[in-house]
Structure 1
């Protein structure tokens, strides 16, 4: 049976992300970092919103497509530099994904929708943009938070948790509190949200 446009698009996004030279170690195995991240995004999205639209599913999968191609060190190491880097990345993610979707035969309206979601436009006002933001935060909290917290002091972690919490919806908050945190992390989370 011939794969659908959707299946082909997902496979092509994964193919790009499997080229990531950065390796992430998980459960005794090494994975291309962004390939693992993108699969976690898809998994978390479908746990959180089982009826997510195709556009939302593709946007989640392509959230970090080819992220390694633009290094953080190409921009000044301050807040302005960080924001500029993030904006440039979003544009690149949207462009690469749009090319893939065009190649597999999606209409421009669908492609524009996916780009809109990858760029996380109108968070708090657009339900699907908010969902993508929630899923990004949930993936961070579930898979990357403990490791991140171990490298920084509690004050910085609490500050980051507060910022993360503000970006999320009520529904996202409920989902986040179902995550199995270590005792120390749970204490930090509770401090941040109190």
Structure 2
């Protein structure tokens, strides 16, 4: 009774003689201390405690995210069955014939091989292992993205202005030359203009979506419709990245590990693994690496997407930064 009467007394309105004094509405008793807000005062100029800003959760996702991965699986299952790929075989043969004239020869398997032809085969094999039902354009890119690239030396840097604008134009012209050379081979094999345009976009890095920055509303439409065309394009970009990273780990990483300092090898591996998928990482870690090489690969693994946002939420902005002003560098001797 005493507690109930005190609770009722705390909510009574002040008498008329005290109408000028502010009216304080207190919180109800027996509430947890953590849920009590500051008293709300009417008729007073007391400063109110501002509410903390609401931080919207990041909407960035990848093809491995739980909301996107089922759509990718459905897209792969909905692909038409591949009965015959005679046109692809013809195109790849034309690319191999051109790259067989590569003056750069490398030793592999006890034999001398044209380097660009061998690299194209390595990349095609990785694409086949990662996505055997991929479109023809992806296999053509894997086999011929460096087609006849030894002739790029004919595009002289001295023919362009000696500034950053000239440098960018020179690099763009080199890419355009490779793209034009590869699309000419595709037309000779009988591919359509749409397929040639897609390969050209890949070669020039033009209008390509980023599989590390895809959102659910990008690939879905009203009434549950799914943009399978965009999903296929995202999958092609991701598969090509994964294949290039696996070729690097298979062919280049072991020699780098034996001949270069560990910090240089670590930086190179981090660059190669920066945009790969979970499937690529699982494939890389399943290989029989020596203990030290496996330890270095473990240090080079990329952080999960959104990890910086997690650190900022848990430990503050400084914890998610590598700037020397970070609290972790407070005892660092800069001299």
Q: Which residue of 1 aligns with 2:180?
A: 95
Q: Which residue of 2 aligns with 1:146?
A: 254
The SS at the match of 1:126 is helix
Moved over 4 A (4+): 81-89
Asked whether the 8 Å contact 2:285–2:294 carries over to 1, the reply is no
How far residue 22 of structure 1 moved from its aligned partner, in angstroms, is 0.7
Asked whether the 8 Å contact 2:88–2:136 carries over to 1, the reply is yes
Distance 1:83 1:133, change over 3 A: farther
**1:100-139, aligned counterparts within 5 Å?**
100-120=185-205, 121-124=208-211, 126-139=234-247
> Which consecutive residues of structure 2, in runs of 5 or more, have no partner in the other structure?
1-84, 158-165, 212-232, 303-335
TM-score by length of 2: 0.50
Q: Following the alignment from structure 1 to structure 2, what is the Cα–Cα distance between the partners of residues 22 and 109?
A: 33
How far residue 155 of structure 1 moved from its aligned partner, in angstroms, is 0.5
How far residue 31 of structure 1 moved from its aligned partner, in angstroms, is 0.3
Q: Following the alignment from structure 1 to structure 2, what is the Cα–Cα distance between the partners of residues 30 and 190?
A: 34
Q: Following the alignment from structure 2 to structure 1, what is the Cα–Cα distance between the partners of residues 249 and 147?
A: 20
Distance 1:116 1:177, change over 3 A: farther
Distance 1:116 1:182, change over 3 A: farther
1:186 equivalenced with 2:271 (yes/no): no
Distance 1:28 1:87, change over 3 A: farther
Distance 1:171 1:43, change over 3 A: same
Distance 1:126 1:105, change over 3 A: same
How far residue 7 of structure 1 moved from its aligned partner, in angstroms, is 1.5
What is the aligned length?
Answer: 187
1:18 equivalenced with 2:100 (yes/no): yes
How far residue 182 of structure 1 moved from its aligned partner, in angstroms, is 3.5
Asked whether the 8 Å contact 1:8–1:104 carries over to 2, the reply is yes
Distance 1:45 1:32, change over 3 A: same
The SS at the match of 1:30 is strand
> Which consecutive residues of structure 1, in runs of 5 or more, have no partner in the other structure?
76-80
How far residue 87 of structure 1 moved from its aligned partner, in angstroms, is 5.3
How far residue 90 of structure 1 moved from its aligned partner, in angstroms, is 3.7
Asked whether the 8 Å contact 2:145–2:182 carries over to 1, the reply is no
Distance 1:158 1:172, change over 3 A: same
Q: Following the alignment from structure 1 to structure 2, what is the Cα–Cα distance between the partners of residues 91 and 43?
A: 26
1:162 equivalenced with 2:249 (yes/no): no
Distance 1:175 1:93, change over 3 A: farther
Distance 1:93 1:181, change over 3 A: farther
Q: Following the alignment from structure 2 to structure 1, what is the Cα–Cα distance between the partners of residues 187 and 288?
A: 40
Q: Following the alignment from structure 1 to structure 2, what is the Cα–Cα distance between the partners of residues 83 and 28?
A: 40
Distance 1:83 1:186, change over 3 A: farther
Q: Can you list the C-alpha shifts for 1:2-50, whole angstroms capped at 9, x where unaligned? A: x932221101111111111111111111100011100111111101111
Q: Which residue of 2 aligns with 1:78?
A: none
TM-score by length of 1: 0.83
Asked whether the 8 Å contact 1:42–1:60 carries over to 2, the reply is yes
Q: Following the alignment from structure 1 to structure 2, what is the Cα–Cα distance between the partners of residues 24 and 86?
A: 26
